[in-house]
Amino acid sequence: MNALTVIFLTAVAACSGAQLPWYPGLYGAHPGLHSWYRSGLPLMPQPTMRSMAPVPMTYNMAPFASMAPIHSQYGAQNEFGQYSFGYNAGLSARNEMRDAFGNVQGSFNYVDANGKVQTQQYVADALGFRVSGTNLPEAPAPAVPQYTPEVASARAAHQAAHSEAAAAAAATPATQ
């Protein structure tokens, strides 16, 4: 069974406890509102009514995260080892494919805690595993060295000497 289906059914079962007819919540303690009270066969002992001051009812409900429904999903595989699969679930999506040579590439995205969409793309092939993403740190740009005046003049003198030596070597005939 699909794991998301199991999670969804578990969440529905957990949240439906307040809808049971014997639940002494907002409507459960009032006879006549449910058909099983009218049948004469109560499923629970009838509450005794006392004249007391009204007490506000409180409920302790566990917080829950709403699940985004899966809008689409797909999957395919063949005898050569190629496959592709993916899904789109509203707040997240993923796709991946593998070719017959074992190269895998894919991407996924999700909404982070700050409400920003994060996207990652990855490739696994003969060059290794490579990933790029919107939430990965980037290295700073390499700094171009700035030479001091002394170093700049020494480099120029060295370049001039090198050019002079290369011209002299080209002017002399090669002896064998």
The pLDDT tens digits for 137-158 are 888 888 888 899 999 999 999 9
- Across 44-70, average pLDDT: 58
How many Cα atoms within 13 Å fall on the side-chain side of residue 130?
7
β partners of residue 85: 75, 96
Whether residue 120 contacts residue 109, with contact meaning beta carbons closer than 8 Å, is answered with yes
Distance from C-alpha of 68 to C-alpha of 90, rounded to nearest angstrom: 6
- Across 4-21, average pLDDT: 60
Distance from C-alpha of 118 to C-alpha of 111, rounded to nearest angstrom: 6
Mean of per-residue pLDDT scores for the chain: 77
Chain-centroid distance of CA 104 in Å reads 19
* One-letter-per-residue 3-state SS of 97-139: EECCCCCEEEEEEEECCCCCEEEEEEEEECCEEEEEECCCCCC
Q: Which two tokens stand for residue 67?
A: 């699940």
Instruction: Give the predicted TM-score (pTM) of the model.
Output: 0.42
pLDDT at 172: 82
pLDDT at 48: 59
pLDDT at 96: 96
The residues, ordered by sequence, that sit 6+ positions from 108 with a Cβ below 8 Å of its Cβ are 92, 93, 94, 95, 119, 120
Tens digit of pLDDT for each residue in 85-125? 999 988 899 999 999 999 999 999 999 989 899 999 999 99
Residue 23 pLDDT grade (very low, low, confident, very high; cuts 50, 70, 90)? very low
pLDDT at 156: 95
